[in-house]
């Protein structure tokens, strides 16, 4: 055994194994040290906050809600950085109302390593800030599918039939109704009752509603023994300080007599649109607009004592443009 160790010692001395091994260990250590100190770069996408916006104002449009930041530093430091260490915001304490404006983006570092440098890829953000308004608009159910043979769709009831929309005045200006998500009546019969959400995908951004869903009742009734009459649509309760424009449409009313032998003509009905429900003073107050378009429901008013059931009316709504007199 002694002879073996002596042989190995002579080999190590002769081949200079120890210095070589030490050199390899030193090289590995240096490589690890340099790797830890290596400089790198990382790009993060962080959300932009809007601060100090007065409650009477709202953002009408923005190019993006995120901004990219570039970070430079040691890789070991960059590996510990997340979007929680950075916050970006725009100060909207005194915005230019109604105009597209560029606002500087401020960056806040939170518990970021000292040796990490941070830079925004863009210095400002383009926004349009407008006055916040509210408007009551009609809910319009979106009905799809085919009615089964021998049946018709009766008068659809929506509860509530209106919602209050809040948002930029430009987004509310031409908004007269909001749609629901699609309701299929394919092969349905009887009384169909659905709770349906407002379809936000079909509405401009930056709008909020006081209701997110409505109750919709759709009667599917047999078409036997139905009578149809036609009547022009009348506007009721006009304000003398305004003009009203609408398409002169003849409505079609379907009804069923409750007793046989009842004689009914078009003169036994009035088909009306009540414009008194439109808050004209509030809609035109302190605004430059001289006309506003609204969607209003069509209502059938039978003669008192007429023993019938009104099944449907078409159209069931009318678009009315209200014009303020000079």
Tens digits of residue pLDDT in 121-169: 888 888 999 999 888 888 999 999 998 888 889 999 999 999 999 999 8
Residue-range definition of the domain harbouring residue 254:
226-326
Q: What is the 3-state secondary structure (H, E, C) of 238-304?
A: CCCCEEEECCCCEEEEEEEECCCCCCCCHHHEEEEEEHHHCCHHHHHCCCCCCEEEEEEECEEEECC
Q: Is the pLDDT of residue 67 over 50?
A: yes
The phi, psi pair for 90, rounded to 5°, reads -120, 130
- Say how many C-beta atoms besides its own lie within 10 A of residue 10's C-beta: 10
What pLDDT is stored for residue 192 in this prediction? 92
Q: Is the pLDDT of residue 87 over 70?
A: yes
Alpha-carbon gap, residue 248 to 54, rounded angstroms: 44
Residue 264 lies in a domain: yes
Residue 148 lies in a domain: no
Structural domain total, the chain:
2
CATH assignment of the domain containing 273: 2.170.120.30
Average pLDDT over residues 255-264: 84
Pairing of strands 177-184, 190-197: unpaired
Q: Is the pLDDT of residue 8 over 90?
A: no
Average pLDDT over residues 162-177: 87
Please state the pTM of the whole predicted model: 0.68
**DSSP secondary structure letters along 11-44:** HHHHHTHHHHHHHHHHHHHHHHHHHHH-EEEEEE
Q: How confident is the model at residue 173 (pLDDT cuts 50, 70, 90)?
A: confident
Residue 82 lies in a domain: yes
Structural domain ending residue among the three candidates 131, 154, 176? 131
Residue 230 lies in a domain: yes
> What percentage of the chain has pLDDT greater than the value 70?
86
Which of 112-116, 118-122, 183-187 is predicted with the least confidence, judged by mean pLDDT? 112-116
Residue 164 lies in a domain: no
Q: Is the pLDDT of residue 197 over 80?
A: yes
Q: How does pLDDT run across 200-255, given as a tens digit for each residue? A: 887 877 889 999 999 999 999 988 888 889 999 999 999 998 999 998 889 999 99
Structural domain ending residue among the three candidates 80, 97, 131? 131
Alpha-carbon gap, residue 318 to 233, rounded angstroms: 9
CA 245-248-254 angle, 5° bins: 130
Q: Which residue has 């049946």 as its token pair?
A: 151
Q: Is the pLDDT of residue 78 over 60?
A: yes
Structural domain ending residue among the three candidates 88, 114, 131? 131
Between 68 and 278, name the one with better pLDDT. Answer: 68
Residue 187 lies in a domain: no
Residue 244 lies in a domain: yes
Residue 325 lies in a domain: yes
């Amino acid at each position: 055994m002694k002879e073996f160790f002596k042989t190995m010692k002579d080999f190590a001395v002769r081949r200079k194994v120890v210095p070589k091994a030490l050199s390899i260990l030193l090289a590995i250590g240096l490589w690890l040290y340099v790797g830890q100190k290596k400089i790198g770069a990382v790009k993060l996408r962080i959300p932009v906050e809007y601060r100090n916006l007065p409650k009477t104002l709202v953002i009408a449009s923005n190019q993006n809600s995120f901004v990219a930041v570039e970070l430079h530093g040691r890789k070991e430091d960059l590996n510990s950085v997340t979007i929680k260490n950075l916050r970006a915001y725009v100060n909207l304490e005194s915005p230019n109302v109604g105009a597209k404006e560029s606002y500087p983006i401020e960056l806040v570092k939170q518990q970021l390593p000292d040796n990490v440098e941070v830079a925004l890829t863009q210095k400002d953000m383009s926004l349009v800030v407008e006055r916040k308004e509210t408007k009551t608009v009609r809910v319009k159910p979106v009905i799809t599918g085919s009615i089964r043979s021998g049946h018709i769709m009766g008068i659809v009831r929506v509860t509530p039939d209106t919602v209050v929309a809040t948002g930029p005045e430009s987004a509310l200006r031409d908004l007269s109704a909001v749609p629901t998500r699609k309701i299929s009546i394919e092969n349905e019969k009887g009384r169909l009752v659905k709770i349906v959400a407002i379809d936000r995908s079909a509405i401009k951004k930056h709008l909020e509603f006081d209701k997110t869903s409505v109750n919709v009742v759709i009667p599917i009734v047999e078409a036997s023994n139905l009578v149809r009459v036609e009547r022009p649509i009348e506007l009721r309760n006009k304000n003398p300080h305004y003009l009203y424009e609408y398409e002169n449409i003849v409505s079609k009313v379907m009804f069923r007599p409750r007793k046989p032998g009842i004689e009914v003509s078009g003169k036994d009905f009035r088909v009306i649109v009540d414009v008194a429900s439109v808050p004209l003073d509030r809609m035109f107050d302190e605004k430059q607009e001289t006309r506003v378009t609204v969607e209003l429901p069509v209502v059938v008013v039978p003669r008192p004592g007429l023993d019938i059931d009104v099944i449907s009316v078409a159209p069931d709504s009318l678009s009315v443009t209200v014009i303020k007199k000079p």
